[in-house]
């Protein structure tokens, strides 16, 4: 059930984060100018959308943040591993250079 909830939250977060959603909300916000007698009902629906969207977007951002953090940790681990290999190679080169210079004298 948690996986389904997270998928819905991520899909909604990605959906709300589009320009099409922005355009739709702009049109919705202009409806009271076209239908002034429906302003109270439009305000009610606007509040309902906000009440549902806020927690939904927060969960979606949390899930997406965990995925980004996981990728960052994997990248960090790979960089640290590569750094250890470079240090090892550098030490071997320094040792070879020291050995070669002492043999030449």
Digit-coded pLDDT (tens) for 13-71:
888 889 999 999 899 989 999 999 999 999 999 999 889 888 888 888 888 888 888 89
**pLDDT band at 86; cut points 50, 70, 90:** very high
pLDDT at 105 (0 to 100): 58
- Distance CA(50)–CA(3), nearest Å, equals 24
- Distance CA(101)–CA(50), nearest Å, equals 74
**pLDDT band at 104; cut points 50, 70, 90:** low
Cα Rg for the chain, rounded, in angstroms?
A: 28
pLDDT at 80 (0 to 100): 95
Q: Rounded to the nearest 10 degrees, what angle do helices 19-34 and 39-104 cross at?
A: 160
- Distance CA(64)–CA(72), nearest Å, equals 12
């Amino acid at each position: 059930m948690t996986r389904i909830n997270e998928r819905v939250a991520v899909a909604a977060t990605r959906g709300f984060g589009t320009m099409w959603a922005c355009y739709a909300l702009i049109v919705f916000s202009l409806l009271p100018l076209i239908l002034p007698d429906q302003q109270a009902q439009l305000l009610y629906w606007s509040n309902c959308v906000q009440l549902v969207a806020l927690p939904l977007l927060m969960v979606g951002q949390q899930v997406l943040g965990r995925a980004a953090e996981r990728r960052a940790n994997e990248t960090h681990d790979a960089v640290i591993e590569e750094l250890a290999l470079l240090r090892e190679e550098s030490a071997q080169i320094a040792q070879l250079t020291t050995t070669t210079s002492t043999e030449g004298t």
